[in-house]
Chains A and B, each alone.
Chain A
Amino acid sequence: MFRRMKLTILPTKNSAIRCLRIEGDFDLYTAPALSRRIQETQATWKHLHLDLDGVRYLDSSGVGAIIRLLQACKSSGRELTFSGIQGSPRKVLQMSNILALLTEVQLTQVSPS
């Protein structure tokens, strides 16, 4: 009925970049686990890229997780970029006034796949 979230680590052009692809529903049930998994790898990257091309449903918990990532990256001087934000997740980020804060790049700029 609902699409659970899947997190995949994509190959990158640079070892300082962590590139994650998120697929499924980024919602009140899956956002806490995603935040924890990203935090677990926090020490190993200088640049985090999230590809949201496979996210079809985003709610305030998912937006909150993105905001916490923005705040954490800003305070630690790490870079955070996004790709693939589309459809209703894009609209939700827009309505929350968060979309304008996100740095969007092409996935091919960070991952050769």
Chain B
Amino acid sequence: MNQPIIRKLLVDDRNELFDAQGMRFMEVPSHFGKIREYTRQVLSDCPEHFLEGNLLEQQLSELIKNGIKHGNACNPDKKLRIWYDFRKRVRFIVEDEGAGFVQLDDWNDFFARRQLALFNQDFDKFLRFASYRGPGSDENDGGNSLIAALEYWNGGMIYNRRKNKVGVVRWYMNGSL
């Protein structure tokens, strides 16, 4: 019987995606109004062929937004730490000072049901599952950033055990510099 392959958010403290050796670093206060500005700062000297229009900017902005809004509750006294590396591929580690993404298992369950509805072409059900709503969600949350992220970060997307730090990597077809 056909079953869809459904990706998951994974937790692995020892994953190589958390090895920050040689990566550049930036620390910013958690100002919601500056999320896109911070993103542009990190990407200011990123090689153009990694940008893919503004797709990389959009995906990094989501990681920063999740850290600032959901992790640090937009408290400017709390810092967001960003490690980044543009050598041959794009890697980021983003760490906030919040309690961690405690709904991670719930999100994986939501995503599995969503993708199963899509696989079964049950679009009514899929539409009900189109956006994730967690206890910390508000009316302005899209509820879909992690869905696109799992697709975009093609080399992995890993959380630490405390779930307040995420490591991601995207590889490119012609990424050698």
Give A residues with C-beta under 8 Å from B.
1-2, 27-29, 31-32, 56-65, 67-68, 70-71, 74, 87-88, 91-92, 95-98, 101
Contacts and interface: CB of A to CB of B under 8 A. Distances in A.
Contact of A97 (B33, B57, B118): B118
Contacts, number: 92
B112 to A, nearest CB: 13
A60 B148 contact: yes
B62 interface: yes
B55 interface: yes
Interface residues of B, number: 35
Nearest to A98: B130
Interface in B138-164: 139-145, 147-148, 151-152
A103 to B, nearest CB: 12
B148 A2 contact: no
Nearest to A25: B36
B148 A92 contact: yes
Contact of B148 (A27, A29, A56, A96): A96
B147 to A, nearest CB: 5
A74 B127 contact: yes
